[in-house]
A = this chain, B = another copy of it.
């Protein structure tokens, strides 16, 4: 492959000058022109490994996600990718499968590779996060809050739960169940808290048998929905607090010949196979969350950012489905 010394030789200058031309340092116009000519003639592009070694950081960022098969996260990844590309960065995708050890593994690799930064949707607590920030690495946390002092881009999850529930109340439903994620999952708990708050504010009870903790996947939604519909006194509306659970719930409803229930979902369903006009969708915007996170990361990499900040990703109150009666 052509190296910088080849370019230097062809242009009749030193490698230092070639490097300066390529990095926009001051070089006299005539030499610069000669270098550029040599660069295009040889089709030279700098070896990024060597550059990274010297600069002490690469042009890669790690995107550490718990589940790349969830459309929420792929859409987020898409947003990150778009910003990274225009900033000259490439994205290393790391799938943790919600496993903390895998997460630590990838964060350590990001460190060993001298990556420019890390965007992580954390699966549980991470000691490595603190180590990265201590060493002034650019880190941005998305979707799930952590205690560490790092940039974070989050939804106001309790508010989401409250607003989605309120939408169902507005339609006249009174017995509203909530299917949320596992206990100890802060996001799931906060959204359930919002559900409870909305019911309480409306002077309604929020009994425990209307709150189901499912796994946050399609089968969890199916199981939860089955259980709710089989109850002695089934709900007349159900809030699914994430997209996959919503998919499972919808799938159950579409088969069920028994009691019907109005459904509200926090999240989006880009691959719904049925018309979902009678479902409330409180759309999140994972792609925009990815854009926001990546922009934050880029400015931190460039050293333009101040103290760590928490950004609440706005979720425009787009409520699809039948309007309130």
Residue pair A75, B81 in contact (C-beta under 8 Å): no
Cβ contact of A60, chosen from B69, B92, B102, B276, cutoff 8 A: B92
Smallest CB separation, A202 vs chain B (Å): 28
Number of interface residues of A (CB under 8 A): 51
Q: Tell which of B1, B47, B94, B271 touches A218, judged by Cβ atoms closer than 8 Å.
A: B271
Which residue, of A47, A71, A109, A271, has the highest number of chain B Cβ atoms within 10 A? A271
A40 sits at the interface (CB 8 A): no
**With the chains together, A68 CA to B270 CA distance in Å?**
13
Which of A50-58, A151-159, A206-214 forms contacts with chain B? Answer: A50-58
* Least CB distance, A322 to chain B, in whole angstroms: 15
Check B254 against A275 for contact (C-beta < 8 Å).
Answer: yes
Q: Is A118 an interface residue (CB 8 A)?
A: no
Q: Mark A267-279, 1 if CB is under 8 A from B, else 0.
A: 0011111111000
Q: For the complex, is A135 an interface residue (Cβ under 8 Å from B)?
A: yes
> Shortest Cβ distance from A185 into chain B, in angstroms?
21
What residues of B have a CB within 8 angstroms of the CB of A254 in the complex?
A: 273-275
A 200-235 contacts with B by CB, 8 A = 218
Question: Could you tell me if A93 and B95 are in contact, using CB atoms closer than 8 angstroms?
Answer: no
A173 sits at the interface (CB 8 A): no
In this assembly, does A238 line the interface, its C-beta being within 8 Å of a C-beta of chain B? no
The A1-33 residues at the B interface (CB cut-off 8 A) are 1
Given A269-B271, A273-B269, A77-B49 contact (CB < 8 Å):
no
**A272/B273 contact (C-beta < 8 A), A68-B78, A81-B95, A93-B91 known:** yes
A68 to B274 Cα, complex, angstroms: 23
Residues of B within 8 A of A75 (CB): 69
Chain B proximity of A323: nearest CB distance (Å): 19
The residue that A273 contacts in the complex, of B71, B114, B276, with Cβ under 8 A, is: B276
A184 at the interface (CB under 8 A from B): no
Mask of A180-212 contacts with B, CB within 8 angstroms, 1/0: 000000000000000000000000000000000
Q: Residue A41 at the B interface, CB < 8 A? A: no
- 5 residue pairs, one from A and one from B, having the closest CB atoms: A93-B93, A274-B274, A250-B273, A271-B271, A254-B274
Report which A residues bind B (CB closer than 8 A). 1, 45-50, 52-53, 58, 60, 63, 68-69, 71, 74-75, 77-78, 81, 85, 90-95, 102, 106, 108-109, 111-114, 135, 218, 244, 247, 250-251, 254-255, 269-276
Query: What are 16 contact pairs spanning A and B, CB under 8 A?
Result: A1-B135, A45-B112, A48-B109, A48-B113, A49-B49, A49-B53, A68-B81, A69-B270, A71-B271, A90-B92, A90-B113, A244-B271, A247-B271, A251-B273, A254-B273, A269-B273
